[in-house]
Amino acid sequence: MPWLGVDGVELHYDERGKGAPVVFSHGLLWSGAMFDAQVAALSSRFRCIAYDHRGQGRSATSPMPYDMERLTDDAVRLIEKLDAAPCHFVGLSMGGFIGMRIAARRPELLRSLTLIETAADGEPRLNVLKYGAMRLVSRFVGLRPLVPPVMPIMFGSSFLRDPARAALRDKMRDELLALDVPRVSAALEAVVSRRPILDELARVRTPTLVLHGDEDRAIAMPRAMAMARAIEGARVVIIPRAGHTSSVEAPEAVTRELGAFFEAHA
């Protein structure tokens, strides 16, 4: 598994396949592995690069505080250093915050943009208070008490109630339990303190696909639709029976939409 030095931090990434580059940018608390199903299916046609943000997954802990702008700079440097421009950029939640910034400011790096379960506004005040309380609790008693309330935020009810998905639920729950509290706190701060980017989206001319799980509780549907309306020509697809992590909950549906979209903008 390769690493790439970017601004004093070693970023971990997984690269498979040949063809037009596709860069996958993951959501808060997870890693590039949340796109394993898509990489496995699409690497026969595309050069798939799934990376871990600084301070998350297998990437190194950041030696300095960071925000969404620094994470965006990391993605830009990774694309440039791996000679992956122009790429199809796929961002889920936190990764979508990054993808929108690249599309608005460095459009020459992108061939297309896919935004999954994400939004262009700032974090709602109620969420800021809720996540602040969670961070305080985790600092004193660890993450175990927080996993039960976090699971319904990250996953839809269909996934959580499906007996056939029990093993996968246990795997995702174990990944949450294994998180390092200081690293989680730094990543969470980058998310909740981000500034809105809605005012920049009118500049986006990159072909854009918006995928959104119909059971997403973390990013309510109206927030995602406001983002889509602000991007000229954005196409919206609702993923049924999926919550905030549709790449894991509905992998076939997400992969099918991505493959068709990439081919249409080859």
pTM over 0.85? The answer is yes
Express each pLDDT in 131-170 by its tens digit.
777 777 777 777 788 899 999 999 999 999 999 999 999 9
Distance CA 231, CA 200 (A): 9
86-110 pLDDT tens trace: 999 999 999 999 999 999 999 999 9
State residue 1's pLDDT score: 62
19 contacts 86 by C-beta, under 8 angstroms: no
**Check whether domain 3-264 has CATH 3.40.50.1820, yes or no:** yes
Listed by start position, the domains of the chain span 3-264
